[in-house]
Amino acid sequence: MKVIASSLRKGNVVDKDGKLYVILFAENIHPGKGTPVTQLDMRRISDGVKVSERYRTTEQVERAHVEDREHTFLYGDGEGYHFMNPETYEQVAVPADDIADQAPYLSEGMAVQLSLHNGVAIAMVLPQRATFEVVETEPVTKGQTASSSYKPAVLSNGVRTAVPPHIGVGTRIVVMTADGAYVERAKN
């Protein structure tokens, strides 16, 4: 089905010249002068080649018919990452290369959106936020809690991020899965 380029988002799948591409990054650019454009960074599903395209925001783009379903993450092994459809209990294996940058944010039992094309998983959308424990950071500095400066920290999933000065080792925090940015201290 044809859609306008400005409506495309990360995780959507488009059909370009008979090949399927998953969108890694989409940005609508509105210059002061000239035509607004949509910048798309995409990965060809068949071989993993990354391409960058620009379309006029009103230009029609062919969006591939994919089935978006919620799946539960089970485990990762040498074959890739394994997910289960909670309604049919059918399992799907996704190659590690397809979700390499998102893999650290996966945790057992996490609900994710998988895009399936002809029964093959081609894209994954994580929840916006995830909770992890801080395993390494500088010690808490007394009197610096009101400061707006951040300090480096390593989370239990191995991702490096910046946290406020009052966060110490062992504290559970909520981060954005898109970039690992600190959001808040976990409530539980």
What domains does the chain contain, in order, with CATH numbers?
Answer: 2-62 (2.30.30.30), 67-125 (2.40.50.140), 129-185 (2.40.50.140)
Burial 109-130 (b: 16+ CB within 10 A, else e): ebebebbbbeeebbbbbbeeeb
The pTM of this model reads 0.67
pLDDT at 72: 94
- Please name the residue ranges forming H helices in the chain: none
Cβ atoms within 10 Å of 175's Cβ, excluding its own: 22
Q: Which of 159, 186, 150, 158 is nearest to 171 (CA)?
A: 186
Cβ atoms within 10 Å of 178's Cβ, excluding its own: 13
pLDDT at 52: 93
pLDDT at 146: 57
CA distance 188 to 173: 10
**pLDDT per position in the chain (188 positions), as tens?**
888 988 888 878 888 888 888 888 899 999 888 889 999 999 888 787 899 999 998 899 988 888 888 999 999 888 889 999 999 999 988 888 777 778 889 888 999 998 887 777 877 888 999 999 999 998 876 665 555 688 899 999 889 999 988 888 999 999 998 888 999 998 87
